Structure 1
Amino acid sequence: MSGKRDKSLHSVPDAKLTDEDKFYESSTVDSGFISGGNLTLSGEIRSEEVTPEEPEESGYMRLDSGVDLSESFSGLNIKSPDLNDLSKTKLAPEPPVAEEETDELWKEYFQQDEDGDTYLHLAIAQGFVEVVLALIRRAPHPLLLDTPNDNAQTPIHLATSIGHWRIVRWLVVAGAKPSPRNIRGDSPLHIAARNGDVLCCKALTEPVKEQERLALGLSYPKQPYHEVNLDQWNYEGQTCVHVAAIGGHIDVLRHLVWYGADINAREGRQGYTALHYSIERGDERLAHFLLGECKKLNADAVTYGGNSALQLGFPVPSTIAEALRSRGVPSPYSSDDEFSDSESESEVTYDNSAMFVHNLIDASA
């Protein structure tokens, strides 16, 4: 395969997903990679797991589920409009695979192009659900599902970023790692939390059931599953709880907390908790949720600078301020003078400015 790949996807004339064996019935439900000629995985994928291949025409590939792919993925034409509607997509059992077709084809399918993308990345990006399913089924080992591109995006990052929750779930069930970091240090759960995508959050966090794995029809034996890291920092020191709080995504926060995410986690730069972010953003609804529904919330948590939610210097609605005081949160103000009047505030600002100018004059002398 050439280093440069045409990223247009066109013809899959006979690949279909039937209505049998529904895979994902409820909505409540690092890397080992191949680059160029380096097609070994330190013994992770053993030669006995695949069988010899019958030679095929040059530049032509065929997935065992009936998916025909040219070297450039040209000529893709998915006839059923429902295949791009993930809420309607169902799984059929994997059809029998001819032994002569099972050996070297995975090397072609999971080879990376000049951007580090595999066919799996490209199929996910363009929403071709049946191609994604066929490629997942053809992988001889789940390490191949964790291949990062040049932006450190694995297929599960990409599926999460565009909201393909069903593909996210397939990858999790197939054994893909749920918490790899991309170039920003974000895990797929960070991305789902930032987007307010509850379905992708559920697809990433729910335990895998054996019936899901059987329905997926994988080509390799059952592998140990990796649990999602709910409290993992990105490179800005934020957990998925912080990211959801900054976006005001209460439904995501509710789900994360229910699964055990630390609602009192402090981010790595200033030591903010979700409660601090609610005050900084002036998000009264979020603050009420945290104080009312999160039983493990530490209302008097302080930043690395020792500031409680009432000591950040941001305006606080009276109902929130009273609720925080009732839970012992220290405040720099009394209830009678929560904030100074506008005149005294401007006097302070003026005095500070005058002092600053005076200091500049002294410094230049």
Structure 2
Amino acid sequence: MSRVELYKTIFQQQHHFKVPDEGAVSEEEKCALDSGFISGELRSEEKITEELPQIEQPQENYMRLDSGVDLSESFSGLHIKNPDWNDLSCAKSKVQEPPVETPTTAKDDLWKQYFQQDEDGDTFLHLAIAEGFVEVVLALIRKAPHPLFLDTPNDNAQTPIHLAAAKQNWLIVRWLVVAGAKPCPRNIRGDSPLHIAARNGDLRTCRAITDPVQEQERISLGLTYPKQPYQEINLDQWNYEGQTCVHVAAIEGHIDVLRHLVWYGADINAREGRQGYTALHYSIVRGDERLAHFLLSECTKLNADAVTYGGNSALQLGFPVPATIAEALRSRGASSPFSTASEDEYSDSETESNAYENAIFVRNLVDASA
């Protein structure tokens, strides 16, 4: 008997139900777990109470793993390297004789198998997220005895929420946040899940991480442990390159993500740790007129005269600046080593000679943050 068959047999014995054919999380369940966070609608407690289903004993429904979740075929791609399960003869002997279930071992200890780490540090939750088995992920989140088990890092310091953000699966990210997973752990490069989402331009995942959790979301998720305090999200946290989420979004030119981060209070004037560049500096280095226009027109707290650690403003980096952007920068107080006429002349004459260096520099920045 294979490890997967053994797993299904153990699961059926412990829970006394027939595992259904493979399915997916229904649209109704997705809508219930959304609870308005992705649409940006924050509803009152009174309205939420009216919308909750009238169930006398909700715990019995929410705490069961078989509530519409398929665990049969979905585990076919998951391979936890357990020495005991690799011994098929041992596994076979165990399955032939149904184990005697005691009140203190069977159901109480089953979670230990779910969250056991393999030789790479991955748990079933890591593997289910990596393979895209959404229904299995939901079942495992509900089975966790404490949110600490949702923060288990593998050997690359990737927690489950890192993997979900990298897969751009905002729904799994939201489930993990609602369940109490830490929103800002660092992976081996120092990136938080929000860094990953900002770099990918994934606005929905950014919102899944930053939007406040509503009580109805937690009720709908059906967790087995009491409500835990949620950690505050650090929007200005550095990765190991000294970049905040604002920096990685600016380097990639993701204006929608920047707008969301700034609205939630991220520091648009934050300087990265190596050269002291701000988002405005990156817009000039990239030659991104659209990004520069957004920063100058929509970001009221922008400091147009912010300087690098070398003391250079956006106009003093030596890169060509479009005349409209240069004028906007000067009007906002940006320091310039040139007069208006000479600066425009410099921009026109040096555009061709600096184009190659500009492209090389931008590519290096993107490679460093990738």
Answer yes or no: same fold by TM over 0.5: yes
For residues 199 and 162 of structure 1, what CA distance do their matches in structure 2 show?
A: 12
1:177 aligned to 2:187?
Answer: no
Distance in 2 (CA, whole Å) between partners of 1:343 and 1:103 is 73
The range that moved more, 16-25 or 292-301, is 16-25
Equivalent residue for 2:301?
A: 296
1:104 to 104, 109, 117: 109
Cross-structure match for 2:39: 28
Shift of 1:339: 5.7
Deviates further, 270-279 or 332-341 = 332-341
Distance 1:272 1:10, change over 3 A: farther
Mapped pair 1:313 → 2:318: yes
Instruction: Write the distance in 2 (CA, Å) between the matches of 1:343 and 1:240.
Output: 33
Displacement, 1:102?
3.2
Change in 2 beyond 3 A, CA 1:271/1:180: same
Within the candidate set 258, 261, 264, 1:256 is matched to 261
Q: CA deviation at 1:173?
A: 0.1
Query: 1:74 aligns to what?
Result: 76
Match of 1:92? Answer: none
Please, what TM-score do these two structures have when normalized by structure 1? 0.72
Which residue in 1 is equivalent to 2:201? 196
CA offsets per residue over residues 238-285 of structure 1, 9 Å max, x none?
Answer: 000000000000000000000000000000000000000000000000
* Residue identity opposite 2:34 in structure 1: Y
**Partner deviation per Cα, 1:142-173 (whole Å, 9 max, x = no partner):** 00000111111110000001110010000000
Instruction: Tell me which amino acid in the other structure corresponds to 2:290.
Output: R
Aligned with residue 245 of structure 2, among 240, 249, 254:
240
User: Which residue of structure 1 aligns with residue 57 of structure 2?
Assistant: none
User: How many residue pairs get matched?
Assistant: 289
1:199-236 CA deviation, whole Å, 9 max, x = no partner? 00000000101110011000000000012110000000
One-letter amino acid matched to 2:311: G
**Which blocks of at least 5 consecutive residues in structure 1 are unaligned?**
30-61, 77-97, 350-365
**Where do 5+ consecutive residues of structure 2 fail to align?**
10-18, 41-63, 79-102, 355-370
Give the 3-state SS of the residue equivalent to 1:106 in structure 2. helix
Does the 8 Å contact 1:198/1:252 carry over to 2?
yes
1:1-365 equivalences in 2 (<5 Å): 13-14=20-21, 17-18=25-26, 20=28, 22-26=32-36, 27-29=38-40, 65=67, 67-68=70-71, 73-74=75-76, 102-338=107-343
2-structure distance, mates of 1:226, 1:235:
21
**AA at the equivalent of 1:13:** P
Q: Give the distance between the partners of 1:220 and 1:123, measured in 2 at CA.
A: 22
Amino acid at match of 1:297: L
Displacement of 1:63 in angstroms is 5.0
Structure 1 residues 31-79: Cα deviation after superposition (integer angstroms, max 9, x where no partner): xxxxxxxxxxxxxxxxxxxxxxxxxxxxxxx956565469x93389xxx
Contact 1:10 1:75 in 2 (8 A): no
Q: Deviations over 1:303-338 (max 9, x none)?
A: 111100000000000000001111121101111111
The Cα shift of 1:13 comes to 3.3
Deviations 1:115-152 (A, max 9, x none): 11110011111111110000000000000000111111
Q: How many angstroms does 1:187 deviate by?
A: 0.2
Q: Which of the pair is proportionally richer in helix?
A: 2
Aligned equivalents of 1:341, 1:166: Cα separation in 2: 50
Instruction: Check conservation: 1:169, 1:204, Cα contact below 8 A.
Output: yes
Specify whether residues 282 and 101 from structure 1 end up closer, same or farther in structure 2 by C-alpha distance, changes over 3 A only.
Answer: same
Structure 2 CA distance, aligned partners of 1:274 and 1:252? 13
Displaced runs of 4 or more, over 3 A: 9-21, 62-70, 98-102, 339-345
2-side partners of 1:153 and 1:344: how far apart? Answer: 48
3-state SS, counterpart of residue 152 of structure 1: coil
Tell me if structure 1 keeps the 8 A contact 2:77–2:131: no
* Offset from partner CA, 1:159-204 (integer Å, 9 cap, x none): 0011100100000000000000001100000000000000000000
- Judge conservation of contact 1:179–1:188 (CA < 8 Å) in 2: yes
Q: Which deviates more, 13-22 or 294-303?
A: 13-22
Q: How far did 1:28 drift?
A: 3.3
Aligned CA-pair RMSD: 3.1
Residue identity matched to 1:118: T
- Deviation of 1:341 (Å): 6.2
Are residues 229 and 342 of structure 1, via their aligned partners in 2, closer, same or farther at CA, if it must alter by over 3 Å? closer
Name the amino acid aligned to 2:20: P
Q: Is the 8 A contact 1:63 1:69 kept in 2?
A: no
Q: What SS does the aligned partner of 1:148 have?
A: coil
1:252/1:283 CA distance change after superposition, 3 Å: same
Alpha carbons 2:71, 2:135 under 8 Å: kept: no
Q: In structure 1, what residue type is equivalent to 2:147?
A: P
Amino acid at match of 1:28: S
